[in-house]
Amino acid sequence: MNAPALPARVVRAGLLFLGFKFGTLLVNAVTMPRLRAPEAPGPGAPEVSILIPARDEARHLAALLPAALRQGAREVLVLDDGSTDRTAQVARGAGARVIPGAPMPPDWTGKSWACHQLAAQARGEILLFLDADVRLHRGAAAALAAHLQGSGAGLVSVLPRPQQLTVGTRLLAPLVDVMVLTWLPYPAQRLRWPGATTANAQVMAFRRAAYDAAGGHRAVRGELLEGTYLARRVRAAGWRVTKVLGASLIGIHPYRSYPASVRGFSKHALRVHLGSRGLMVVLGALHFAVYTWPWLTPARGRAHWALRLLGPAERLAVNLLTGRRAPADLMESALVPLTLPSALPAYWLALRAQVGWKGRTYGNGAAVSGPRGAAE
């Protein structure tokens, strides 16, 4: 017996949905800045403090720190928050200043507590917070300082280019780029609506004055989506907030495996969906209908074939925009029909009252339990 055809109304709705996303992607391709290294630091260039919260990040720090220490920053600080590996030894051996983390208060999340301690020790005019899996290339810090100066912004966050992905991590890790570049047009960040202001906490560079005016990480101490909430506070304090593509200057090695990707995405999934489990389920069903269902039923007509092919074409266009043009990156689009099924374990974890990450349990954005301080 032949499988039933995809309903025509589903095909039409899917094409409209993808048309909106391609339109947003086009707007972002034209308007979102790309990070470019300045030819030379300008006179009076502000000093940069590179700040890295770390727990059990020895492997990542061994790759990040040599490049970070060549950025010409005033200082590179690593907050060692209860690591059980050689995080502190690797950081000291590379030449970074290591700060032992203090015990975490009960109403904080790990990363915000670590960043708060780093900011208290930093002496630069620009505070550049980096996750340990970020990779800096020559001129990255100077480029961010130049962007802040030229734009007048108080905060710039970066969409770093994913690098060295495995087959398992290609299923979910690139969704950060897809979400940022196809859902919210970059010019919308100028709107007064708070929901239009978003940021990527993996790479955030603040003017010290803007960071302090927003209340710093103390003001978002219970939030797992701390980057976006802090960006909104910077905007509310009267500062401009911008976002840039990392281009060839800033990359990231996100997660080591598919299971690690699932755990990472589950931590943020509910908050990305505005804290609504209903919205998360509805949008999950929509993505299944648009990206997966068309491949499970026989294609009947050009509209059905268009719906099939536009999903992978969207991923291909996003990868080209972010500079991911290796053969494996281009072939990644073939995995798109598997994306929603691969995300189901992350959705399931996110539907629970609490989510776990690095030895802690969180609920509603606040730390609920955990044996010791740890930077997420």
Q: Is the pLDDT of residue 375 over 50?
A: no
Q: Are residues 217 and 152 in the same domain?
A: yes
Last residue of a domain, one of 252, 285, 320: 252
Examine residue 318 and state whether it is found in any structural domain, yes or no. yes
Q: Which of 78-82, 93-97, 365-369 has the lowest mean pLDDT?
A: 365-369
* Total domain count, the chain: 2
Full residue range of the structural domain in which residue 336 is found: 8-30+258-367
pLDDT at 367: 37
Q: Which value, to the nearest 10 degrees, does the dihedral of the CA atoms of residues 116, 118, 122, 125 take?
A: -60
In this prediction, residue 374 has a pLDDT band, given cuts at 50, 70 and 90, of very low
Q: Are residues 76 and 16 in the same domain?
A: no
Q: Is the pLDDT of residue 43 over 80?
A: no
pLDDT at 1: 43
What's the whole-number mean pLDDT along residues 308-314? 96
HSE, CB side, 13 Å, CA atoms: give it for residue 238.
3
What is the domain-level CATH number for residue 59? 3.90.550.10
Q: Which of 194-198, 203-207, 229-233, 253-257 has the lowest mean pLDDT?
A: 194-198
DSSP state of 367: E
Q: Is the pLDDT of residue 45 over 60?
A: yes
Q: Are residues 66 and 151 in the same domain?
A: yes
Q: Is the pLDDT of residue 364 over 60?
A: no
Average pLDDT for the chain? 89
Q: Are residues 75 and 224 in the same domain?
A: yes
Examine residue 219 and state whether it is found in any structural domain, yes or no. yes
Q: Are residues 18 and 42 in the same domain?
A: no
Examine residue 98 and state whether it is found in any structural domain, yes or no. yes
Examine residue 242 and state whether it is found in any structural domain, yes or no. yes
pTM: 0.91
Q: Are residues 53 and 128 in the same domain?
A: yes
- Residues near 167 by Cβ (< 8 Å), separated by ≥ 6? none
Cα angle: 235, vertex 39, 49; to 5 degrees: 45
Q: Could you count the other beta carbons within 10 Å of the beta carbon of residue 6?
A: 23
